[in-house]
């Protein structure tokens, strides 16, 4: 790290910083500039954190050089992480981008869910998604159908040969949820729920970690780091848009650039969710394509058998006929992209 001393820092203050660095076995070099003294320190930041050093009198700023997300970083692991499922489906690396589709919430109408699952299978998708525990802004909105929803999701997926994804909101549901789902989702509102991150870190189930509503890319990767640090290497990141000032036409701002940025700095797979990213069904296809062009390892899309009567997120859900058209074009698009890369 680099420690920049204040313009008027005393020699004693600078010496004290140098001494404490040396006591903690840092290799120290420093430069007395005309205005600021700059200390260059190489060592283990877990023994002496940048935050602690910043609190020393006379210190103006402490800059880190290596990214703090060690396990998620390409410095640690150069090759892409590939997550493989029991049926041979793979996410990440040079594998075909996966498709994760289904309603925002699993509802009481099992038949409707089956129609979505059948369409998903027919169009070559790999995963059926659907919320059972919904993080809703208002307590008056539909909160999810609970364990019954997971039973429906599993049944529809088993009957069609798909894998399942559903969101976990509380660590106490972990064992129960693991019986029904192949991938646990951590939603945008829980990206920094550290106890939940630790809990899913302690099991080996793959996790889709969504980007928080206001997470920076570094915070997003540090959230993934919590899962990796607790022992679960199977993390799939999901860019789902971030909050900004303009919500007149789109629900969120789809940060397409985060995908190649994350690919550059991390080995973890990343998928794009244009349903939540835009809030608009007509934007799902163009944004999915944009994500695929910049390297996304998959697309998550909300699909409902009757969006007008959906209990949540109908506006950003594709009705089945439209989904089939969009998916057919995305399949061709993926083929063309693959040929372009070869």
Q: Would you give the distance in Å from CA 123 to the centre of its chain?
A: 25
Q: Which is nearer to Mn ion, 131 or 201 (CB)?
A: 131
Residue 276 contacts ligand PEP per CB under 6 A: yes
Q: How far apart are the C-alpha atoms of 289 and 99, rounded to whole Å?
A: 12
Select from 240, 263, 267, 289 the one that contacts ligand PEP (CB under 6 A): 240
How buried is 169 (Cβ within 10 angstroms: 0-12 exposed, 13-18 middle, 19+ buried)? buried
Closest CA to 97 of 124, 117, 116: 124
Nearest approach in angstroms of CB 307 to Mn ion is 12
CA angle 293, 242, 228 (to 5 degrees): 80
Closest CA to 116 of 331, 330, 301, 315: 301
In the numeric block, which tokens belong to residue 76? 């640690």
Nearest approach in angstroms of CB 191 to ligand PEP is 8
Which residues of this protein are in contact with Mn ion, per CB under 5 A? 104, 313
Q: Which is nearer to ligand PEP, 142 or 229 (CB)?
A: 142
Q: Which is nearer to ligand PEP, 21 or 188 (CB)?
A: 188
- The listed partner (Mn ion, ligand PEP, none) that binds 240, CB under 5 to 8 Å by sort, is ligand PEP
Residue 143 exposure: Cα atoms within 13 Å on the Cβ side: 6
Q: How many helices (H) and strands (E) are present in the chain, helices listed first?
A: 11, 15
Nearest approach in angstroms of CB 160 to ligand PEP is 20
- 260 within 8 A of 293, measured Cβ to Cβ: no
Residue 210 contacts ligand PEP per CB under 6 A: yes
Any idea what DSSP says for residue 266?
A: B
Q: How far apart are the C-alpha atoms of 181 and 21, rounded to whole Å?
A: 48
Nearest approach in angstroms of CB 112 to ligand PEP is 16
Closest CA to 126 of 94, 93, 86: 86
At which residue do the structure tokens 């919320």 appear?
A: 131
In the numeric block, which tokens belong to residue 110? 């099992």
Binding to ligand PEP in span 185-204, by CB under 6 A: 187-189
Any idea what DSSP says for residue 58?
A: T
Q: Which is nearer to ligand PEP, 45 or 304 (CB)?
A: 304
Binding to ligand PEP in span 30-69, by CB under 6 A: none
Pairing, β 207-210 against β 235-239: parallel
- Interface with ligand PEP by CB under 6 A: which range of 4-12, 71-79, 173-181, 183-191? 183-191
Q: Which is nearer to ligand PEP, 72 or 165 (CB)?
A: 165
Nearest approach in angstroms of CB 105 to Mn ion is 7
Q: Which is nearer to ligand PEP, 3 or 297 (CB)?
A: 297
Q: How many residues bind ligand PEP (CB under 6 A)?
A: 9
Nearest approach in angstroms of CB 302 to Mn ion is 6
Nearest approach in angstroms of CB 46 to ligand PEP is 31
- 48 within 8 A of 20, measured Cβ to Cβ: yes
Q: Which is nearer to ligand PEP, 45 or 240 (CB)?
A: 240
Nearest approach in angstroms of CB 249 to ligand PEP is 18
Q: How far apart are the C-alpha atoms of 186 and 164, rounded to whole Å?
A: 14
> What binding mask, one character per residue, do residues 115-154 give for ligand PEP by CB under 6 A, x or -?
----------------x---x-------------------
Residue 104 contacts ligand PEP per CB under 6 A: yes
| Site of interaction with ligand PEP (CB under 6 A) | 104, 131, 135, 187-189, 210, 240, 276
């Amino acid at each position: 790290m680099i420690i920049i001393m204040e313009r008027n820092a005393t020699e004693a203050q600078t010496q004290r910083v140098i001494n404490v660095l040396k006591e903690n076995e840092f290799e120290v070099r420093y430069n007395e500039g005309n205005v600021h003294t700059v200390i260059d320190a190489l060592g283990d930041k877990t023994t002496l954190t940048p935050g602690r050093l910043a609190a020393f009198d006379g210190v103006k700023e402490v800059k880190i050089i290596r990214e703090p997300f060690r396990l998620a970083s390409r410095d640690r692991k150069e090759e892409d992480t590939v997550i493989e499922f029991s049926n041979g489906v793979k996410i990440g690396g040079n594998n075909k981008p996966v498709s994760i589709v289904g309603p925002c919430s699993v509802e009481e109408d099992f038949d409707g869910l089956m129609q979505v699952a059948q369409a998903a299978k027919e169009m070559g998708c790999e995963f059926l998604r659907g919320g059972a525990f919904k993080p809703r802004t208002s307590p008056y909105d539909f909160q999810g159908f609970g364990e019954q929803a997971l039973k429906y999701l599993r049944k529809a997926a088993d009957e069609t040969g798909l894998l399942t994804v559903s969101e976990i909101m509380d660590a106490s549901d972990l064992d129960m949820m693991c019986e029904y789902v192949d991938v646990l989702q951590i939603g945008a509102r829980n990206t920094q729920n550290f106890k939940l991150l630790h809990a899913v870190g302690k099991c080996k189930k793959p996790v889709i970690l969504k980007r928080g509503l206001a997470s920076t890319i570094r915070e997003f990767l540090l959230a993934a780091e919590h899962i990796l640090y607790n022992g679960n290497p199977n993390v799939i990141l999901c860019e789902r848009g971030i909050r900004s000032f303009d919500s007149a036409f789109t629900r969120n701002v789809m940060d397409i650039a985060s995908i190649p940025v994350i690919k550059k700095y991390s080995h973890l797979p990343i998928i794009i969710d244009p349903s939540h990213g835009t809030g608009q069904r007509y934007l799902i296809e163009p944004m999915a394509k944009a994500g695929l062009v910049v390297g996304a390892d998959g697309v998550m899309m909300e699909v409902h058998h009757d969006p007008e009567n959906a209990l949540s997120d109908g506006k950003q859900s594709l009705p089945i006929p439209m989904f089939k058209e969009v998916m057919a074009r995305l399949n061709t698009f993926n083929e063309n992209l693959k040929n372009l890369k070869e």
